[in-house]
Chains A and B, each alone.
Chain A
Amino acid sequence: MRVPVSWLREHVALPDSLGVDELADRLTMLDLKLEEVDRVGGDVTGPLVVGRVLSAEPEEHSNGKTVNWCRVDVGPEHNEDQPDGGEPSRGIVCGAHNFGPGDLVVVSLPGTVLPGGFAIAARKTYGHVSDGMICSTRELDLGDDHDGILVLAPGSAEPGDDVPTLLGLREDVLDLEVNPDRAYALSIRGVARDAALGFDAAFTDPADLPVPDAAGPSWGVTVEAPEACPVFVARTVTGLDPSRATPSWMSRRLQLAGMRPISLAVDVTNYVMLELGQPIHGYDRDHLQGGIVVRHAAEGEKLTTLDGQVRTLSAGDLLICDDSGPIGLAGVMGGEHTELGTSTTSVVVEAAHFAPAGIARTARRHRLPSEASKRFERGVDPALPRYAAQRVVDLLVELGGATAEPGETVVGTVPAMPGIELDPVLPAAVTGIAVKGEDAADALRAVGCQVEGSGTDGLLGVVPPTWRPDLTDPYDLVEEVLRVVGYDRVPSVLPTAPSGRGLTRTQRLRRLAGKALAGDGLVETMSFPFLGPADLDLLGLPADDERRRLVLLENPLSAQEPGLVSTLLPGLLHAAARNVSRGLEQVALYETSPVFLGGQDAVAPVYGVDRRPTPEEVAALDAALPAQPLHLGVVLAGEREPAGWWGPARPVSWADAVETVREVGRLVGVDVVARTGALAPWHPGRCAELLVDGVVVGHAGELHPRVCRAFDLPARSAAAEVDLDAILAAAPAGARPDPYSVFPVAKEDVALVVDASVAAVDVAAALQAGGGELLESVRLFDVYTGAPVPEGQKSLAFALRLRAPDRTLSDDEITASREAAVAEAVRVTGAVQRT
């Protein structure tokens, strides 16, 4: 809400010495938050004065342009005597032609600075010295509708008058952020009322007008939907002079408040809306066909609103109709046909009260947030319509030469405000300030409530004022008390929480996983969770890949990314590519974020709020949500270790991706096992499937060369993605370690030649199984291909460690265990022992 301070001061007797910053600070502390002070015209300085045109001589110039050489009387202070004895004046060249001798105009004399820092100086032009400029509305920042010179109404000023004062060029405008519960503050009236409260100043209600007491109807009105339209007031004026322009003070105020002046009749309705907060609609009576009917729309009905759009209506839309059909969307926007135009002479003025919910839905459905709907959906003072209509009539009579037709149509009555019982100790209990009951009662009276009871004993009976429909329960009243008493009086008391259980085990493990990754040289990134088919194509996912079943958004920010991530890899690969393109040579990134699994199309129930939902109802809410497991994504590109004095760089390999995940597992006590896998976007021969307790939790390995190219990543970049929830869930709690053996260890190495396709992990597992309890550990320490190992085979060298818990092993036991291990590996994997 933009509030010109001079307009505000008309309705509240603020001290002259009060500065705009202090005013704004006080309003902010009353819940009318200052966005900014717009110091309009603050840069205008110098002699900007009213001038009377004495003469204007057209002169045609060689460039084909005709200019006027004018003598202008700019008042005794600025006039210069003329050597030829002519009237004291100044000479000015002007290119516009919409004025003549005798007109009052605005003159910027040399030394003036116009809005926008436009400095005026005397200059030689068209053979004359032009002493400044005759100004247009645009140059004065008063609007941009007219190209010509601003001609002031005859008799409205004298030559030499200060124009910034006359036209309100300099004005401080408060731009206030109005919260949804303070609809009353969407008006000068409401802001003035709070300013009066804030400075203990007198408030003059602009709605305090005499209205006709003998109510003959003014125009036929039938309200068929009284719940949606409890009050409808109509007044009629005739004989409006369409040639009358909006006075400059009014158009200036509209403009300062952020509205565009249009025509007198329209401007008056907007002015009254800004002043009182009551949206007004004016109908051209000559285009109305019969009486007005307020009813709900039939599904599919059509209306052309005054923005020229044809709207297809729904049953929930409330309509204003006449005999021809719909002529307006009630409380949202009028229709085109009955719009007030340049030839309108008779106006039917509508000031009605509409129920907030319906207006909100209609405005949302038709995407029509108007000044009117903004006010109605928050709640307008239902007592206003008669006074607002009167104000419009008065202004049309005064400014437009119109005649008020007798009679006033009033349909419905102002609904009574429901009373609220307030326990007088509640304000103190809620705020922690020692507010006495009687002080609370006084505070409520100060904001306009009627209060029954003393506050010292018994409940307070509170009836909020009509402009406060937001006050519906005791806590709302507490906030009003607090606002008056002052938020700054709330004391600071640290509460004592019951003994807590600290972080959960999962929360602790998640932190540990993050630290493990960072300790492993990876950098955490946070990508947006949006994804589209283009990135899934870049990953090379087959058509039936379940990661293609995205959870889709109704209103995505970008049509290219219509869904939520089913995999963290695209975000990570793009981030890695960005790092590479910015010159980083060792790129190692990770992200831990949820992914969203599609294919779950349930509808979430919407319950009432008058009671707690049952456990079954809560479960139904959860069942309607997609699975959202926390994933860990990793991407490695370029070098894993740089070159240095120790030797050459070590490029990233598939194994780094596998090890990164296994390292996280190791830190939380989970053995992550790699098996041969095959899944996009990994290299088909370099993809490990990662398992925990026999269940696949993700994949790791080298990226497919096509994927590296598609994402602009270096060749042989590696990546991993696993279900971190699953890994952490497997973390063992409360370990009970077996006693370890203190007897000597026996070390035996074996080399086994297997087919190249045999997985080392399988050979190791077979050795372990065959070696029995004495085989303490099996570790692969070398892989060799090439002569003498036959083509298509590889030699795997394992270090075996054997030990018994209770004795030193004999040579025979060692040999037997080793041979059993080898025999099992031979049996399971077809290995041949190298000797």
Chain B
Amino acid sequence: MSGPNTEYDPVEVTPLKADEVESMRDDALAAVAAASDLEELKAARTAHAGDRSPLALANREIGALPPQARKDAGKRVGQARGAVSKALAERTLVLEAEHEQRILVDEAVDVTLTLDRRPRGARHPLRTVEERVADIFVAMGWEVAEGPEVEAEWLNFDALNLGPDHPARTMLDTFWLSPASAARVLRTHTSPVQARTLLDREPPVFVVCPGRVFRTDELDATHTPVFRQVEGLAVGPGLSMAHLKGTLDHFARELFGPGVVTRFRPSYFPFTEPSAEVDFLCPVCGGDEPALSTCRTCRGEAWIEWGGCGVVNPRVLVACGVDPERNSGFAFGMGLDRSLMLMSGVADIRTMVDGDARFPMPFGWEI
């Protein structure tokens, strides 16, 4: 720190001569410009802008000048130092950018090295189909109902107009819990959930019941003793088969694509009257020759069986305490396994149940 230098003769100080200052400035600018990396720039800064640099020393001398000379000298030195400082700042930016550029290049890796460190997981496509179906109906304001898989005989059969001697009972190959006299079964359909829903709440009721059901079929390519269904039930004033058709048309289009065409075909179920099967026109061949006869999706049948449906039999409403004079309803049921097979071309049902982790992988988490 230097105070005013009172010992100097106040006439002239060499380092403060104009050409000296310019020379110092030019040396400094040249050094800055010549610095090729941040290290050299640091050295240049020390040499030409540091405390001991010529310009810094010159600055200190200003105080020693006579007052009338200080103004000019101060201006000269100040401008020189300003120019050096600016050059340093600019050069720093340039060199820092160059430096960063070099580092990032040096640090480059092969990003094609894949990690795959955590093995992939998957949900079963039957699960995602089940959820997709539920979502289609939830979007229409329906709710998803559930019930037990081991079910009371009365709910699985009697309440659904399947009395003990009904011939259709023998067609539903039923697993009975031991002893059979205890009147408990593995549900043969999810219809008992519908009955439970009606017992549980007042119309209007709009529910879908997805779930696992059981029949005493041996496992082969097209049969399985354990499969998944979705059933739907709507009960309220003024519901008709036209509403059933509208609902199934929407359902089919959502699941299989906007162009899907459905048809009703007469059928029989004890719990519906009238009853129908709903088929849809093969979306692959469209039911037209020449593709039809070799079509592997519909096997040349044009119409693909999808499920059963109908107007809820008033006897079922009575057994569940719903007044059939004031309410009517419709119901339907589809196999989810079968729907999945139709959607994805799975040919052998066994591949869906043997637990091979490769089966669910291609389906992703959403269908």
Most interface-central of B171, B265, B274, B358 (chain A CB within 10 A): B274
> Contacts A497-B142, A529-B226 hold; do A646 and B311 have CB atoms under 8 A apart?
no
Which B residue's beta carbon lies closest to that of A358? B165
* Shortest Cβ distance from residue A501 to the other chain B in the assembled complex, whole angstroms: 6
Residues 477-491 of A at the B interface (beta carbon under 8 Å): 478-479, 482-483, 487-488, 490-491
Are B266 and A30 interface neighbours, CB within 8 A? yes
Are A606 and B158 interface neighbours, CB within 8 A? yes
* Shortest Cβ distance from residue A527 to the other chain B in the assembled complex, whole angstroms: 6
Bound: A688/B134 CA distance, A: 36
> Contacts A624-B152, A644-B116 hold; do A429 and B328 have CB atoms under 8 A apart?
yes
Chain B residues with Cβ below 8 Å from A589 are 355, 357
Residues 572-626 of A at the B interface (beta carbon under 8 Å): 572, 574-576, 578-579, 582, 584, 586-589, 593-594, 596, 601-607, 609-613, 618, 621-622, 624-626
Are A430 and B241 interface neighbours, CB within 8 A? yes
B120 located at the interface, meaning its Cβ lies under 8 Å from any Cβ of chain A in the complex:
yes
Contact of A487 among B175, B276, B321 (CB under 8 A): B276
B182 located at the interface, meaning its Cβ lies under 8 Å from any Cβ of chain A in the complex:
yes
B204 located at the interface, meaning its Cβ lies under 8 Å from any Cβ of chain A in the complex:
yes
Bitwise, A686-700 to B at CB < 8 A (1) or not (0) is 000000000000000
Are B234 and A495 interface neighbours, CB within 8 A? yes
Bound: A377/B163 CA distance, A: 13
A526 located at the interface, meaning its Cβ lies under 8 Å from any Cβ of chain B in the complex:
yes
Chain B residues with Cβ below 8 Å from A731 are none
Main secondary structure of the interface of B (DSSP, over half): mixed
A14 located at the interface, meaning its Cβ lies under 8 Å from any Cβ of chain B in the complex:
no
Bound: A216/B134 CA distance, A: 68
* Shortest Cβ distance from residue B192 to the other chain A in the assembled complex, whole angstroms: 10
Are A603 and B122 interface neighbours, CB within 8 A? no
B345 located at the interface, meaning its Cβ lies under 8 Å from any Cβ of chain A in the complex:
no
Are B267 and A377 interface neighbours, CB within 8 A? no
Bitwise, A172-215 to B at CB < 8 A (1) or not (0) is 00000001111000000000000000000000000000000000
B60 located at the interface, meaning its Cβ lies under 8 Å from any Cβ of chain A in the complex:
no
Which B residue's beta carbon lies closest to that of A587? B357
> Contacts A356-B165, A500-B138, A609-B161 hold; do A31 and B123 have CB atoms under 8 A apart?
no
Are B184 and A625 interface neighbours, CB within 8 A? yes
Chain B residues with Cβ below 8 Å from A30 are 266
A398 located at the interface, meaning its Cβ lies under 8 Å from any Cβ of chain B in the complex:
no
Are A575 and B206 interface neighbours, CB within 8 A? no
> Contacts A511-B131, A521-B119, A603-B183 hold; do A432 and B355 have CB atoms under 8 A apart?
no
B247 located at the interface, meaning its Cβ lies under 8 Å from any Cβ of chain A in the complex:
yes
Bound: A589/B311 CA distance, A: 42
Contact of B311 among A430, A492, A606 (CB under 8 A): A430
Bound: A182/B184 CA distance, A: 30
Are B117 and A644 interface neighbours, CB within 8 A? yes
Chain B residues with Cβ below 8 Å from A415 are none
Residues 502-545 of A at the B interface (beta carbon under 8 Å): 502-504, 507, 511, 514-515, 517-529
Residues 260-277 of B at the A interface (beta carbon under 8 Å): 263-268, 273-277
A/B interface sample: 8 pairs, CB < 8 A: A356-B165, A493-B242, A497-B234, A518-B121, A554-B176, A621-B152, A621-B154, A641-B118
A523-B121, A528-B353, A553-B176 known; 4 other A-B pairs, CB under 8 Å? A492-B245, A498-B204, A526-B126, A621-B154
For the complex of A and B, the 9 pairs showing the least CB-CB separation, nearest first, are: A612-B321, A432-B242, A575-B355, A179-B268, A31-B266, A479-B274, A497-B141, A518-B121, A494-B246
Binding site for B on A (CB under 8 A): 28-31, 33, 179-182, 356-357, 360-361, 364, 377-378, 429-433, 473, 475-476, 478-479, 482-483, 487-488, 490-504, 507, 511, 514-515, 517-529, 551-557, 564, 571-572, 574-576, 578-579, 582, 584, 586-589, 593-594, 596, 601-607, 609-613, 618, 621-622, 624-626, 628, 640-642, 644-646
